[in-house]
């Protein structure tokens, strides 16, 4: 009996186990998907003649803004999931945020390769622009619990869209509100400071039962700690570059930055350490 060809009607042809995605007629490429030409066209030094280190300065700060965008994406979801009572997914999101914040701290090493003399070649061109004006970083602080409604009024140069974003951040729940919602849905009373401290102590003393809540609280503390470490590293970088000079935006420079190092997003979780 000779082999007969199998009928092809109604049978899908076998798929290539190693498809060559870029060669199958599609128009999407690495560059077009990531918009690389547009991305690389966003660095425009203001100095003339161009100071060598101005490209470094611009690139570092643009990369910060990309990381801030991703942080907000992750923190928003962590907050939203906590508001539903979920203790697992928010911890995963905060773990990713912790990894990003460590990158932000380490990234300061790159800008520290610039000497004060190199910075002075273009620093005067920056005024009155300042890192103080980073809307996304303020959003990170606001959703983390460090809300400052007065900042919206003090910040000159906000576009209407940026102002709306900051006002919304002031009005909407923070990560702390999400954490308290998770505790409440787990059966704890959180209306007063004393009730909350009782809840924290109960969770800390019975991690076999409340391990997920303890891990979530620790993830918030780590987030708080890394924000503080980034601010501290930023202070040292600024003082290394400009000493005690005022900032380009008119702030007190290093003195202003140093005043924010001790800020805590979740002071009650830090206070718990003294009570264990």
Binding-site residues for substrate, please?
57-61, 123, 248
Of residues 267, 257, 268, 269, the one with CA closest to residue 137: 257
Binding-site residue numbers for heme are: 234
3-state SS string for 140-193: HHHHHCCCCHHHHHHCCCCCHHHHHHHHHHHHCCCHHHHHHHHHHHCCCCCCCH
Surface-to-core class of residue 174, CB atoms within 10 Å of its CB (0-12 exposed, 13-18 middle, 19+ buried):
buried
| Beta carbons within 10 angstroms of residue 78's beta carbon | 28
List Cα–Cα distances, 208 to 48, 147, 189, 219, 246, in angstroms: 64, 34, 20, 17, 52
Residue 86 to residues 70, 91, 92, 200: CA-CA distances in angstroms?
A: 21, 9, 11, 17
* Cα angle for residues 209, 216, 185 (degrees, 5° grid): 65
* CA atoms of 146 and 263, how far apart (whole Å): 8
* CA neighbours closer than 13 Å in the CB half-sphere of residue 47: 18
Q: Determine whether 180 is exposed, middle or buried from the number of CB atoms within 10 Å of its CB (0-12, 13-18, 19+).
A: buried
**Whole-angstrom distance, CA of residue 139 vs CA of residue 168:** 10
Binding residues, as ranges, are 57-61, 123, 234, 248
């Amino acid at each position: 009996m000779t082999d007969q060809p199998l009928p092809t009607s109604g049978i899908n042809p076998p798929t290539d186990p190693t498809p060559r995605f870029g060669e199958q007629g599609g128009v999407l490429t690495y560059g077009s998907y990531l918009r690389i030409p547009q991305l690389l066209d966003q660095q425009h030094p203001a100095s003339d003649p161009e100071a060598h280190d101005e490209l470094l300065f611009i690139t570092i700060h643009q990369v910060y803004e990309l990381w801030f965008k991703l942080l907000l994406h992750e923190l928003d979801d962590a907050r939203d999931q906590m508001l539903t009572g979920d203790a697992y997914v928010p911890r995963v999101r905060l773990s990713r945020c912790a990894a990003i914040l460590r990158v932000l701290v380490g990234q300061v090493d790159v800008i520290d390769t610039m000497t004060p003399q190199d910075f002075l070649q273009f620093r005067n061109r920056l005024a009155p622009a300042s890192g103080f004006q980073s809307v996304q970083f303020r959003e990170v602080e606001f959703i983390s619990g460090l809300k400052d409604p007065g900042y919206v009024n003090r910040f000159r140069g906000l576009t209407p869209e940026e102002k709306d974003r900051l006002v919304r951040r002031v009005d909407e729940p923070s990560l702390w509100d999400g954490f308290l919602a998770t505790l409440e849905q787990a059966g704890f009373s959180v209306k007063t400071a004393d009730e909350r401290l009782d809840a924290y102590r109960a969770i800390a003393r019975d991690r076999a039962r409340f391990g997920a809540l303890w891990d979530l609280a620790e993830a918030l503390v780590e987030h708080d700690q890394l924000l503080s470490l980034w601010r501290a590293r930023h202070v040292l970088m600024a003082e290394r570059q400009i000493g005690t000079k005022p900032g380009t935006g008119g702030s007190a420079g290093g003195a202003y930055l140093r005043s924010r190092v001790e800020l805590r997003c979740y002071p009650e979780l830090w206070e718990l350490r003294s009570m264990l």
